[in-house]
Structure 1
């Protein structure tokens, strides 16, 4: 069975493959259906489910409202929309952003991320207090390439405001066919002005695991999400690195939004002593169920796990399990913080739609609930400013005495690349102009001391090249150092 979180993939709305899903943020596992087509653990399949049905007075009230709307409302209304609205209203009454109703059209696209193949912008989003917030951009996706970051607030897409929309409504505006353009306005902490990013929707890479061994003998395995084939690929990469004499292992789950729960359990227990706790689930009565490692062993070589703000759910399960029960070192930033469990039902509704609601918490091996807190690294290492700087979107040339967030972004880029503008406050002074001239001279751009579209494009390409150089990855280098010391 799979755990799947309330957050919805902006790159795709998934296709439902089974009658019931148990959801833990972005970590999923299938529940085996019983003879009645639901599950033995679901209240909907219990013998006394009739006790939870609407009584006659409640039914009369709903029927009265439907009749009033259909006979008195000034416009014709689709009856199916009324029923969908009633179910949505019940879920909203729970006042829980992780409990939602998905209509048939939305639910029909609910499997592609589990299979590891999808099309869109490549970002997972959630809804908090009426705002659409990025959980994580997927590595290598249009979202990541454009500079979208975890915790960014999405204000609008192609001119259409997102605030106040349901998660499904917002995602419907964000997603789209391959090759189409999405102009996204983002509000980012630390920036006074909104940021505009332009993304071209694309196929998202289905490969989820990348393994390499460094000249110093440290192996690095990057896990981009936990899809159905990820455990198999992880085993292959791990065995390959061990066969090459790996002396230490770095697991990189930065910007990994999660995935399939049995997969993260299978991966975790490969590095954990048999019988140790991988994860716990606690119901509303305080009863806890532990998932124990089977058939694995604690590795003799040191292990470090890299996290950032975009590491969520299954990534947090992996980091927490290895940190608390296998002696691994977590390095990087505080993770996203998603620690509740949702159950989703679609067969019970009978029309392909589904209801998803929070039923429990998930806890680390030591019983810690990381919800809205995240996994705390053993050593906090912030990414270089170039990793988080807002990409430039020039509407006019930046010149002396300009003052804007665009100038600030350019200054951060110049500073990070070694061209010292002397300030990063958004004011285009003489020192900034000198830094721009030096950059232009060394990159074959007309030397004007001003930032036009050509200079801005060249500057951003230089930043991307710098980021792609692993030797500039301060978090990775610290993780390598940690496993090398051990």
Structure 2
């Protein structure tokens, strides 16, 4: 049996392996990419050194009376069930039941076949739709889409519930099971049934899988020497990417800095610690970890290069895990303001065990705390300056494969009317009814975008409409504008 301590459920991560009967401990790197394209970033972990694993003592099950009922149930089912049942099926079910009883979305069990399929898909390519999900209250919920991914382009948002995949109901499935259905090869399509947070209506969204961008840092020089650097995830090379980005911005005259971790679902903690170390003064706490007995270990900033220009951090509901560790460290230990809306709230650490038969068990072992000792799990981090995006940034998704035309009535029509209105067109009453005014607004939009003028919303017209609204959100980024204002005051 192999025991693995997770730093993160994303990209390359360090693992501690303990081979039983030898006591041999070794360190290695391995890829564990869990997005909806093949990657899902659900765990913010801690460096392996924090979790030295003691020797595992063999359990003598013959002297464990608490297992008597389990053995009796197993024997009775094997002997009397009306169909033959494989022993492994019952064993997998028993372990899965124990994990489910924890009621922890970050603890999971994969059977040999599930683990094999999962790892085969992971190691093959960076392809899929590009979003992070988790199981929450029986639903598969989006934490964040990846920048530039098909999921982002299609309009998938944090807190969207995925109810079905290609018509298959996935309620009650684990995140791993859902991911195996959602991801796939580049060029193939997957249809998701989506319910937006706070909405009653459902909508279908067909997404074409693609290669997911591997770049994680995006620098941009704004006005008056204000540099904005977006970090989309904490991957193996993110720290080095950030160093290069900072050097680029310095050459362009950087006088102040905005770190944007909105929609960043987390990743490798060692990268978050290295980045935090650029801003947190030596000796100050970056984060703390606490075990089940209340024992706390602190991680403090070390000496080294420090970024001393005025800085602000942007966060939102898609900022999770390692993003929250970075935001908490910079705010509490370096006095850096946070702008945006409340972060996601992921404050636990997981360990995984790979069994000899190829199955895998992952479960929560610790929680992490901010420098001030706050546990932000399920609460998130509140920004110092709360700023919402415009209402049209949270509109329901529209499936480009659905035909919306004269006399159509649906929530998708209402969303289209709201989009058209936000772009300056006049669709008439925003009520979900595709009337003559809506048709004329669509025609005007098609003419302006040099599309075939039909008055029908489908395919290229729908995709272009979504793209233009996305551009409008970027142009009217109220959170970024507030961050620019705040960082100027910090000088």
TM-score, with normalisation over the residues of structure 2? 0.84
> Could you tell me whether the CA contact under 8 Å between 2:221 and 2:249 is conserved in 1?
yes
Question: Which residue of structure 1 aligns with residue 53 of structure 2?
Answer: 42
**Structure 1 residues 445, 174: CA separation in 2 closer, same or farther (over 3 Å shift)?**
closer
For 2:365 and 2:310, locate their aligned partners in 1 and report how far apart those are by CA, in whole Å.
36
In structure 1, which of residues 399, 407, 410 is the aligned counterpart of residue 406 of structure 2? 399
Query: What is the SS of the residue equivalent to 2:224?
Result: coil
> Could you tell me whether the CA contact under 8 Å between 1:282 and 1:289 is conserved in 2?
yes
CA RMSD, aligned part only?
3.1
> Could you tell me whether the CA contact under 8 Å between 2:404 and 2:413 is conserved in 1?
no
**Structure 1 residues 210, 397: CA separation in 2 closer, same or farther (over 3 Å shift)?**
closer
In structure 1, which of residues 416, 420, 423 is the aligned counterpart of residue 422 of structure 2? 416
For 2:431 and 2:465, locate their aligned partners in 1 and report how far apart those are by CA, in whole Å.
21
Aligned pairs (5 A) from 1:194-343: 194-296=202-304, 299-343=307-351
The 10-residue stretch of structure 1 (259-268 or 244-253) with the greater mean CA deviation from structure 2: 244-253
TM-fit CA distance, 1:80: 2.3
Which blocks of at least 5 consecutive residues in structure 2 are unaligned?
11-32
For 1:259 and 1:113, locate their aligned partners in 2 and report how far apart those are by CA, in whole Å.
19
The 10-residue stretch of structure 1 (183-192 or 387-396) with the greater mean CA deviation from structure 2: 387-396
Query: What is the SS of the residue equivalent to 1:206?
Result: coil
TM-fit CA distance, 1:264: 0.4
**Structure 1 residues 115, 241: CA separation in 2 closer, same or farther (over 3 Å shift)?**
farther
Query: What is the SS of the residue equivalent to 1:9?
Result: coil
Question: Which residue of structure 2 aligns with residue 372 of structure 1?
Answer: 378
Aligned pairs (5 A) from 1:429-444: 432-433=438-439, 435-444=441-450
> Could you tell me whether the CA contact under 8 Å between 1:272 and 1:322 is conserved in 2?
yes
For 2:465 and 2:65, locate their aligned partners in 1 and report how far apart those are by CA, in whole Å.
68
Question: Which residue of structure 2 aligns with residue 36 of structure 1?
Answer: none
TM-score, with normalisation over the residues of structure 1? 0.85
> Could you tell me whether the CA contact under 8 Å between 1:271 and 1:296 is conserved in 2?
no
TM-fit CA distance, 1:458: 2.6
**Structure 1 residues 281, 148: CA separation in 2 closer, same or farther (over 3 Å shift)?**
same
> Could you tell me whether the CA contact under 8 Å between 2:262 and 2:318 is conserved in 1?
yes
TM-fit CA distance, 1:117: 6.5
> Could you tell me whether the CA contact under 8 Å between 1:212 and 1:221 is conserved in 2?
yes
> Could you tell me whether the CA contact under 8 Å between 2:292 and 2:366 is conserved in 1?
yes
For 2:130 and 2:409, locate their aligned partners in 1 and report how far apart those are by CA, in whole Å.
33
> Could you tell me whether the CA contact under 8 Å between 1:5 and 1:342 is conserved in 2?
no
Question: Which residue of structure 1 aligns with residue 7 of structure 2?
Answer: 3
> Could you tell me whether the CA contact under 8 Å between 1:2 and 1:262 is conserved in 2?
no
TM-fit CA distance, 1:396: 4.1
For residues 321-369 of structure 1, the C-alpha deviation after alignment (integer angstroms, 9 at most, x for no partner) is 11111122211221111112222222xx333322222222211111111
Question: Which residue of structure 1 aligns with residue 18 of structure 2?
Answer: none
Question: Which residue of structure 2 aligns with residue 458 of structure 1?
Answer: 461
Query: What is the SS of the residue equivalent to 1:221?
Result: strand
For residues 17-65 of structure 1, the C-alpha deviation after alignment (integer angstroms, 9 at most, x for no partner) is xxxxxxx943245536xxxxxx97336x25xx34686735455554444
Question: Which residue of structure 2 aligns with residue 162 of structure 1?
Answer: 170
TM-fit CA distance, 1:147: 0.9
For 2:188 and 2:242, locate their aligned partners in 1 and report how far apart those are by CA, in whole Å.
33
Aligned pairs (5 A) from 1:24-35: 25-29=42-46, 31=48
Aligned pairs (5 A) from 1:141-180: 141-180=149-188
Question: Which residue of structure 2 aligns with residue 79 of structure 1?
Answer: 87
For 2:329 and 2:376, locate their aligned partners in 1 and report how far apart those are by CA, in whole Å.
12
The 10-residue stretch of structure 1 (356-365 or 255-264) with the greater mean CA deviation from structure 2: 356-365
> Could you tell me whether the CA contact under 8 Å between 1:259 and 1:314 is conserved in 2?
yes
> Could you tell me whether the CA contact under 8 Å between 1:386 and 1:463 is conserved in 2?
no
For 1:130 and 1:193, locate their aligned partners in 2 and report how far apart those are by CA, in whole Å.
18
Question: Which residue of structure 1 aligns with residue 23 of structure 2?
Answer: none
Question: Which residue of structure 1 aligns with residue 470 of structure 2?
Answer: 467
